[in-house]
């Protein structure tokens, strides 16, 4: 695997701005997150163009291939070359022939906006909304509330580009005790997760020995990608969608949202839900979610809303 860098990328660039506050105007230079097109090419076939932050592109490509089901294992990727130009990048992958034939059969041509997970899908059937049940769920059941709170407490200090720019997502890999092992950042939340999965695969990390913690909301694509890697617990700072909850339940994944330093909301139980003894009003649900989220911004917001 090789990398040809036409220009060194840092993940952020300086731009002149005028800061207006309390009637005063100040002209300064400000760091903003980088975003430009990254083409993913499999055996010479251009498969996807994603808007991404040009860092950790090798991990991004490997993670994308795994979480999209293009390859079943990292060993099916025989070669990978990253070429970064001034305003774009290309990752050229050579994959095993069976994987290539399966990819051609899907006939998926993806042109994504900021890590969009479904642009270019030709039919609803290709969305793949029926995940296999996750095996080896014991580790997820053992993750305690204090572990989630510990991860929420530690993540802001590990978000280097977030502190610098105020506008980027993060995906973290945490041990069962909540300690953070690795953090990847990207302007797209799906890309950040792909980078994390790819990084773990390249390091041959055991993905059944820990959980994913996201600085964003939990959309269905993120749950589906996580389930595909047989990861049994996904925690996020912001809310899930209804489809994300449905997919997590089908996969028997623990899905936690509104994760803070003092609590969280769990949307999927360790066991199938039993009968509800008393109905709960919508107002009560909203009140409980608001109490869980608290009056303050999420610990990873750092003054900017990155939870979309």
Summarize pLDDT for 167-193 with one digit per residue, the tens.
999 999 999 999 999 999 999 999 999
Tens of pLDDT along 119-155? 555 555 556 777 888 877 667 778 999 999 999 999 9
Report the predicted TM-score, pTM, of the whole model to 2 decimal places.
0.81
DSSP 218: B
* pLDDT at residue 110, rounded to an integer: 46
Strands 2-5, 77-84: pairing is parallel
Beta bridge partners of 185: 170
Task: Specify whether the CB–CB gap between 248 and 268 falls below 8 A.
Answer: yes
In CATH, 36-127 is 3.10.20.10: yes
DSSP 79: E
The two structure tokens encoding residue 287:
């009140």
3-class SS of residue 199: helix
- CA–CA gap between residue 184 and residue 11 (Å, rounded): 11
Q: What percent of the chain has pLDDT over 70?
A: 77
pLDDT at 4 over 50: no
pLDDT grade for 278, boundaries at 50, 70 and 90: very low
Domain residue spans of the chain: 36-127, 138-293
Tally of CB atoms within 10 A around 260: 18
Task: Specify whether the CB–CB gap between 65 and 71 falls below 8 A.
Answer: yes
3-class SS of residue 307: coil
Average pLDDT of 104-112?
56
Tens of pLDDT along 195-246? 999 999 999 999 999 999 999 999 999 999 999 999 999 999 999 999 999 9
Q: Which residue has the higher pLDDT, 4 or 50?
A: 50
Strands 110-111, 89-95: pairing is unpaired
H-state helical runs in the chain: 57-67, 97-106, 138-142, 145-158, 160-165, 189-202, 220-228, 242-251, 282-293
Annotated catalytic residue: which of 116, 119, 174, 300? 116
Q: Which residues contact 188 (CB under 8 A, 6 or more apart)?
A: 50, 51, 52, 53, 112, 114, 115, 116, 169
- CA–CA gap between residue 274 and residue 272 (Å, rounded): 6
pLDDT at 105 over 80: no
Active site residue 116: yes
pLDDT at 303 over 70: no
pLDDT grade for 158, boundaries at 50, 70 and 90: very high
pLDDT grade for 280, boundaries at 50, 70 and 90: very low
CATH fold for the domain made of 138-293:
Cytidine Deaminase; domain 2 (3.40.140)
């Amino acid at each position: 695997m090789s990398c040809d860098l036409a220009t060194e990328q840092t993940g952020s660039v300086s731009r002149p701005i005028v800061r207006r506050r309390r009637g005063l105007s100040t002209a300064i230079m400000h760091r903003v997150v980088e975003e430009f097109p990254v083409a993913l090419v499999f055996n010479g076939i251009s498969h996807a163009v994603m808007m991404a932050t040009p860092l950790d592109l090798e991990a991004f490509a490997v993670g994308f291939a795994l979480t999209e089901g293009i390859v079943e294992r990292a060993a099916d990727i025989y070669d990978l070359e990253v070429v970064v130009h001034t305003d774009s990048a290309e990752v050229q992958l050579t994959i095993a022939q069976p994987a290539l034939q399966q990819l051609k059969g899907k006939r998926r041509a993806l042109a994504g906006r900021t890590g969009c997970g479904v642009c270019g899908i030709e039919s609803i059937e290709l969305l793949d909304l029926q995940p296999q049940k996750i095996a080896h769920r014991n580790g997820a059941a053992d993750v305690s509330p204090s572990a989630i709170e510990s991860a929420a407490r530690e993540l802001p200090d590990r978000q280097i580009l977030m502190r610098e720019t105020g506008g980027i997502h993060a995906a973290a890999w945490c041990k069962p005790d909540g300690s953070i092992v690795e953090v990847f950042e990207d302007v797209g939340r799906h890309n950040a997760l792909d980078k994390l999965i790819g990084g773990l695969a390249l390091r041959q990390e055991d993905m059944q020995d820990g959980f994913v913690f996201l600085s964003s909301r939990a959309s269905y694509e993120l749950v589906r990608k996580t389930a595909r890697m047989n990861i049994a617990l996904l925690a996020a700072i912001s809310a899930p969608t209804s489809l994300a909850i449905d997919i997590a339940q089908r996969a028997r994944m623990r899905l936690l949202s509104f994760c803070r330093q003092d609590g969280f909301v769990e949307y999927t139980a360790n066991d199938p839900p039993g009968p509800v003894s008393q109905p709960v009003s919508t107002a009560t649900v909203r009140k409980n979610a608001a109490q869980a989220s608290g009056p303050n911004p999420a610990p990873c917001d750092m003054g900017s809303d990155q939870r979309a």
